[in-house]
Amino acid sequence: MSAAKVGAILGLIYGIVTAIIMLAAGSFATASLGAMGTLLFAGFGAIGAVMMIVACLIGGFIGGAIGAFLYNIVAKLVGGVQLDLK
């Protein structure tokens, strides 16, 4: 479960960065669309940014859980990873 939590946190960070870039790019694009484009982007841009963050958070959690599950299956078959620390 901890791998899923780490995946969720990484997904959240990725989602926030992506949403910021998306909002910045959208604000530059609306400059050429005029007043109607600005109003349209203001509504859909904010909703899209929140949905992006939530989707990345959920995707990171699911991806981390699936990755940990697959690692455990493969580790049983091949013996896993051993570290010798001196």
pLDDT in tens, 16-53: 999 999 888 777 766 676 666 666 667 777 888 899 99
Report the mean per-residue pLDDT for the chain: 86
pLDDT-derived band at 6 (thresholds 50, 70, 90) equals: very high
Residue 40 pLDDT: 66
40's enclosing H/E stretch is: helix 34-78
Residue 25 pLDDT: 79
Task: Report the predicted TM-score, pTM, of the whole model to 2 decimal places.
Answer: 0.76
17 vs 43: CA distance, rounded Å: 19
DSSP-derived 3-state class of residue 45:
helix
Per the model's pLDDT, the better-predicted residue between 23 and 63 turns out to be 63
Q: DSSP characters for 46-82?
A: HHHHHHHHHHHHHHHHHHHHHHHHHHHHHHHHH----
